[in-house]
């Protein structure tokens, strides 16, 4: 299985049989090296919350590829009005799909979509714990540091994607504390340097993670990691 980082919080998981895209902020993402038209067929889209830099191009991709969108119940209800297939879930719920299982995990953040100038409530934000071919991947979504992360240690996570940009999410120092609680085999920092307000240094984060005896890969957009 390959995990391809597409900048900001967008990650493409390629199993060989299915392509699973997380938080597909593609066309308007200044750090993404490709456009939607360059993506392979996407079978499933996982969306952590409704903000535009995560919901992104979900509807366009789902219509193009007849993808199934996996997200929280409220956001699922809102975007299903566009005629796309959705699978609604809630935090703590786990479901087994044809590619593997998905569990929604808590995230400390907000979630809304914009209708004109008005933000519309879009359910609780979440992270995803994904198990494919006996490998566990955790995508934290947008979140602050939370003690709930201690519960993830027992999952023996192989690969964790954690935000480090600060301001809207935890900064790199809180992300290091998250690593101490989760203790994944490999960590990849996300959600940083897309804009000045979330500027962070992944080299410092990597150094601090490696002090814990763990691996950190600060992937550039377009780079991938094999599991």
Say what the pLDDT of residue 147 is: 97
Cβ distance 32 to 39 under 8 Å? no
pLDDT at 207: 98
pLDDT digits (tens, 9 = 90+) for 113-166: 988 788 999 999 999 999 999 999 999 999 999 999 999 999 999 999 999 999
| pLDDT on residue 114 | 85
Q: How far apart are CA 189 and CA 160, in angstroms?
A: 8
R_g over Cα of the chain: 16
Rounded distance between C-alpha atoms, residue 24 and residue 13, angstroms = 12
Compute the average pLDDT of residues 107-114: 94
User: By C-alpha distance, which of 99, 7, 10 is closest to 57?
Assistant: 10
pLDDT over 90 at 40, yes or no: yes
Taken in order of first residue, the domains within the chain and their CATH numbers are: 2-226 (3.60.15.10)
What is the rounded end-to-end Cα distance, in angstroms, of the chain? 5
Q: How far is CA 158 from the centre of its chain?
A: 15
pLDDT tens string 165-214: 999 999 999 999 999 999 999 999 999 999 999 999 999 999 999 999 99
Q: Is the pLDDT of residue 215 over 90?
A: yes
pLDDT at position 117 is: 82
For the entire predicted model, the pTM comes to 0.97
As a whole number of angstroms, the distance between CA 128 and CA 123 comes to 15
What mean pLDDT is predicted for residues 92-100? 98
Instruction: List, edge to edge, every strand of the sheet that includes 94-96.
Output: 94-96, 101-106, 126-132, 135-139, 159-163, 186-190, 215-216
User: Which among 192, 195, 132, 133 is positioned nearest to 161, based on CA atoms?
Assistant: 192
What's the pLDDT score for residue 115?
80
Mean pLDDT over each residue of the chain, to the nearest integer: 97
Q: What percent of the chain has pLDDT over 70?
A: 100
pLDDT band at 77 (very low <50, low <70, confident <90, very high): very high
Nearest to 127 by CA among 52, 54, 207: 54
Which residues fall within 8 angstroms of residue 116, CB to CB, at 6 or more apart? none
Max intra-chain CA distance, the chain: 48
């Amino acid at each position: 299985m390959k995990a391809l980082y597409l900048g900001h919080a967008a990650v493409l998981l390629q199993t060989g049989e299915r392509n699973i895209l997380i938080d597909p902020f593609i066309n308007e993402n200044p750090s993404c090296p490709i456009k939607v038209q360059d993506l392979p067929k996407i079978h499933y889209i996982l969306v952590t919350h409704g903000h535009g830099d995560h919901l992104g191009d979900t509807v366009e991709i789902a219509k193009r590829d007849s993808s199934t969108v996996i997200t929280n119940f409220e956001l699922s209800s809102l975007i299903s009005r566009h005629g796309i297939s959705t699978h609604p879930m809630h935090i703590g719920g786990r479901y087994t799909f044809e590619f593997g299982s998905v569990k929604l995990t808590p995230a400390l953040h907000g979630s809304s979509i914009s209708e004109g100038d008005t933000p519309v409530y879009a359910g609780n934000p979440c992270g995803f714990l994904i198990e494919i071919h006996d490998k566990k991947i955790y995508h934290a979504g947008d979140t602050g540091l939370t003690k709930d992360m201690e519960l993830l240690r027992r999952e023996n996570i192989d690969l964790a994607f954690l935000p480090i940009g600060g301001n809207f999410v935890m900064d790199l120092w809180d992300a290091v504390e998250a690593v101490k609680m989760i203790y994944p085999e490999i960590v990849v920092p996300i959600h940083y340097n897309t804009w000045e307000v979330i500027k962070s240094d992944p080299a410092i984060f990597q150094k601090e993670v490696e002090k814990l005896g763990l691996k950190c890969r600060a992937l550039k957009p377009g780079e991938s990691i094999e599991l």
